[in-house]
Structures are given as structure tokens and as C-alpha cells.
Structure 1
Amino acid sequence: MNRPQDRPHFGLGQLLSLVYFMTWIYLVASYIGELSLAEVTEIFMNALIIALFVGLGLNINAFQIRNRSGKYRSLKRRSRYIRDHIGNVLAFFIVPFCVSSASSLVVAGDNGNLVQALFRTDSYVLIMVGGFVVFILLPALYLLYRQGWR
């Protein structure tokens, strides 16, 4: 019998990842038609190389090779970590690929400005203030309201 805590749940992190992925799809669909096949291939190959380097670095940084007592983890334990956290492991490769490919497509396209392409404004200050309000201030106020200061 599945208990409520055993069922996978769709949390805020997954929702945010879905929004980001849909944004990537929107940008690719909007700008891929403006480029030749050779340009698109070069952009995606560059994004793949960036994703491999950055993803490997992020995974190595996130994975603790040593346990709390300072002993190295066995190959079996490392394999189990990858299996148990495959979503996070893959995300560390997918996110840099999406960021690199989307920004390169926009820059290579007619627009050339990612902020303009996403938010329809050239105001970096407006985007930073809006991001602060949406991603820092409102969540902090919500946590304060729900859980208090301590």
C-alpha cells in the first residue's frame, strides 16, 4: 500500500524546472527558424560541450567522494548514489545545455538580447528588482508567515 510520503510529489523545485524548460522550448522554437542548419548545429554542439564540462564539475562538486569519517566511498556506493539521484545528476548536465543553447540562439538570431527576448524589456534593473521580489522577498515573507522567524 502506498503511503502519502511514498508517493512522488510535484514540489516547487519541479514546478520551477518545468517553467524553465518550457521557457527553453519557447526560445528554441522562436529563434531556431532564423538560423541555418550549420549555425544551429554549431550552437547545439557548443552547448553540448559546455554542458559536459559544467555538468561534470557540478556533479563532482555536489557528490561527496568521502563519507563523514573521511574514508573514500566505494564504487558500489558511488553507483548507488547516481542511481538514487539520477534526476539531479542529469539536471546538472541539462541546465547548462539549455542555458547555453537558448542564449546562443537568441544572440545569433535577429534579436541578440536574451533579456529582451524573455521579458520584452531592455531594463536590466527592472528584471533584477522583479527577480528579487519574486524569488527572494515573496518566498521569505511566505516562510515568515507560515513558520515564523524561528
Structure 2
Amino acid sequence: MAGLIMFIAALLMLGIGFPVAFTFGAVAMIFGMVGSVVESLSDGDGLLGSIEVFKDMFNFMPYRIFSIMESRIFIAVPLFVFMGVVLQKSKLAERLLESMGMLFGEIRGGIAISTILVGALLAASTGVVGASVVAMGVISLPVMLK
């Protein structure tokens, strides 16, 4: 039930016009505060206990953010972006997408289908989906705009 309420709150905030990152952060903080209040009241600690729990949650957030940034997976992201730029500048990716587009030539949106397939192969082979999305954007945008 709480997940459904969070989903509705996120849709409502997005509908109002808040940016996605701020919406998800605000919904998470609001429901974290509500959860700490409910937990403290059910434990019998009162409202003061929920404020302490919420302060502890905020004090833990910088450590969590730093541990995410310290992850070894994100070291490779600039190299994947560089790989996408090299593939785009060498016209290798353009030739790959055009040949895949000819393969799906009779189908409407053949280049889009080939972009999805190449992106799926790139994401599966690299293991970092965000970097492959950026690389595919750099690679496929000039071909699709032609």
C-alpha cells in the first residue's frame, strides 16, 4: 500500500512540473520521515524519537552518497563515453547502423530497431547500462537525423 501511495505521490509531483531527480528525492525523504514517525510512535518513543531517527537518517546520507561514488563500476563510464565518440568519429558505428538499417530496411523504423539491437548488445557486453546509453546516443543520433 505504501508503494502505491509513493507512486501516486511521485506522479503527482511530476505532473505539477517538478524535475525527476528532485521528485524522487523529495518522495523518498517525505516517506522516510513518515516511516520514522510511525516507527517511533509504535515503539512508544513519541515524536522526539522520530526526530532523532530522521536526524540519524540524514547523517547517514553523505556516507551512502560517497560509497556510491566510490564504486569501481563508475570508473569505466568516461572510457565508454570515449569509446562512443571514437566509434562515431571513425564512422564505424555509422556503417554498422546503416548496414543493420538495410537489414531491417523493409520495416518502418529500421534504423530505430537496429539502434535498439546494437544498444542491447553494447549494454550486455559492457555491463554498464548508463554508459552504453550515452555511447549509443552519441553514435546513433547523427545516423537517425540523416
- Using structure 1 for the length normalisation, give the TM-score: 0.27
Between Structure 1 and Structure 2, whose CA radius of gyration is higher?
Answer: 2
